[in-house]
Amino acid sequence: MLVIQTRKLHEMTVAEYMASDIPGRTELIEGLVYEVSPEYEPHAYAVQRLADLIRPHLPAGKTLRCGSPVAIPDWYGKNAPHPDIAIITDQYYDPGLTYRDTHAVIEVSDSTYEDDRARKVPIYVKAGLPTYVVNIRERWVEVYPDEASLKYINGFVEPERVRILGIDIAVRALFRPVSR
């Protein structure tokens, strides 16, 4: 007799997730906790370059958060993704950051591109957040300003420029130089 054992999944709210002591790097997507892949150098480089290029041009009252959870739509919802960069209202958050004070999110994707596009981008966009995906492998930036944009990819490749909340950035500045 074959007995198949299944694991019971426990869905969490953002409040439960934030109160838990889960080891390692994780994020909450659709009520389930997912491990976050390790950060490799091309990813770390792109995140740092974005932060360096955006930060000096942010208007008063806005700042950046890197890799912090954002409760979408709220603390009793089921999504607390950790965008690589969130442009937020500059203040202390108690209990924590939500989509209401988030002005844009940026995901930097290498090995996680398909997953980010399928799971995270729709969550951000449906919450009304302008969303950007830096695709390291293809060396381009995708822009999703609203829900209608989920049906197509609006992308910018080298040597083009992309505007993130009005801040002009050269696409090539986000990637390691190519040896010629």
**Mean residue pLDDT across the chain:** 92
Structure confidence at residue 30 (pLDDT): 94
Asked if pLDDT for residue 175 goes beyond 90, the answer is yes
CATH number assigned to the domain with residue range 14-174, chosen from the 4 options 3.40.50.1820, 3.20.20.100, 1.10.357.10, 3.90.1570.10: 3.90.1570.10
Structure confidence at residue 3 (pLDDT): 63
Structure confidence at residue 150 (pLDDT): 87
pTM, two decimal places? 0.91
Structure confidence at residue 63 (pLDDT): 98
Structure confidence at residue 19 (pLDDT): 93
**Domain extent listing, the chain:** 14-174
Instruction: Tell me the average pLDDT across 3-27.
Output: 84
Burial 129-154 (b: 16+ CB within 10 A, else e): bbbbbbbbeeebbbbbeeeebeeeee
Lookup result for tokens 């954002």: 70
Instruction: Tell me the average pLDDT across 142-161.
Output: 88
Distant-in-sequence, close-in-space partners of 114: CB < 8 Å, separation ≥ 6: none
Structure confidence at residue 177 (pLDDT): 82
Asked if pLDDT for residue 129 goes beyond 70, the answer is yes
Instruction: Tell me the average pLDDT across 72-92.
Output: 96
pLDDT band, very low/low/confident/very high, at 57 (cuts 50, 70, 90): very high
